[in-house]
Structure 1
Amino acid sequence: MAQRRSEESDRRQIHEVVLRYCRGIDRLDFDLVRSAYHPDAIDHHTGFTGTVDDYLAWVEPKLRARARTGGTMHILGNHLVELHGDEAVSETYGTSVHWGEPADSARANFTSGVRFVDHMTYRDGRWAVSERWAVREWTRSEVGRFMPKEGEGPSGRHDDHDPLIRLQQRITSRKAGS
């Protein structure tokens, strides 16, 4: 059954596009990242401009290398959408935290203030990015600021043992058994 479109549902779906992108980047789920874009989308990042396929080819090895000793976390804040029929301007403020080895490398350990300025379009029954500008507003070094956890507890991972993946698998296996 096709979902009925409304201003509220369009805004919610556009916000979910941005959330999917961030989860995909942070969890190394590049199919999820791809789902945030239309196939012919263009992405502009610091050090990169090109198609979504070229963007994924550029960013995936960087993130996989980082994941061996660290990771990323994208924290989203303000999100404003200007709807124009089947097109929208979406602006999302956020913070991108990066950590890894070597511990004394400012390029491996930094935090940036970012804005995702997105041209979103509704095509083929879904909202997705047609063009993105990942605007870096500021960057600061986190060298010497990261410290180990103070005790045992859940840790993020980039494999099937991550708490998110384990929860998803538990719920879907329960549903399959119903």
Structure 2
Amino acid sequence: MTTASADVRAVVANEQIRQVLARVARGEDRRDAALIRAAFWPDAAVDFGIFAGSFDEYLDWVVPGSPAVPVTQHVLGQTAIELKGAVALTETHVNAYHRVDYGTEHHDVMLGGRYLDRLEERDGDWRIAHRTMLYDWTQDFGASADWSQGLMGAPFSAGHFTGRSAGDHSETFFGQ
């Protein structure tokens, strides 16, 4: 393989890996098992500190998600990728918002951390083989504001502007 073709292969692999990571985040936020399944190998394992197990156990845990966490949003930052043939080691920064139902009120909770992923390329397809979550910080911002009808004193012009884990406008947008 020439240097140029190896460089092109590395660029393509890096982009495919970033797409895998984005697919997981979107799948978790939308509680979409198919999106998540397309990002992990069936024999994968995960360890979040508060949950560790096989891919199937993880999928059962994250989809449909806890009723006490009606909304999440995972925002991915930079990803460091080390390609080693058909294996890639990655570290991806994540800020994750969770609206948590404490029974008497909802709270807005944020955490920051890093996903340490080992991805494997099998038959030209990159997927996660193992994920470990590292937590760098967390913040409970207290009682959530009710933004379901509008923002900053201005009402929404239609009902589709409010995001939800499942059944929001993004499903229509993507033709689901």
TM-score normalised by structure 1 residue count: 0.81
Deviation at 1:164, TM superposition (A): 1.7
CA contact (8 A) 1:104 1:144 kept: no
SS of residue matched to 2:29? helix
SS of residue matched to 2:163? coil
- The alignment covers a number of residue pairs equal to 162
2:63 to 54, 60, 63: 60
Q: In 2 relative to 1, CA 134–118 (structure 1 residues): closer, same or farther, beyond 3 Å?
A: same
| 2:125 aligned residue | 126
Greater share of helix residues, 1 or 2? 1
Counterpart check, 1:152 vs 2:156 = yes
| 1:101 aligned residue | 101
**Aligned residues with identical type, % of pairs:** 29
TM-score normalised by structure 2 residue count: 0.82
Which shifted more, 50-59 or 10-19?
Answer: 50-59
Where does the alignment leave 5 or more consecutive residues of structure 2 unmatched? 1-7
What is the Cα-based RMSD across aligned positions, in Å?
A: 2.3
Q: In 2 relative to 1, CA 30–94 (structure 1 residues): closer, same or farther, beyond 3 Å?
A: same
| 1:173 aligned residue | none
Greater share of strand residues, 1 or 2? 2
Deviation string for 1:28-75 (max 9, x for gaps)? 1011111111110010112111110011112224x25146xx300001
SS of residue matched to 2:174? helix
Structural mapping, 1:153-172, within 5 Å: 153=157, 154-160=161-167, 162-169=168-175
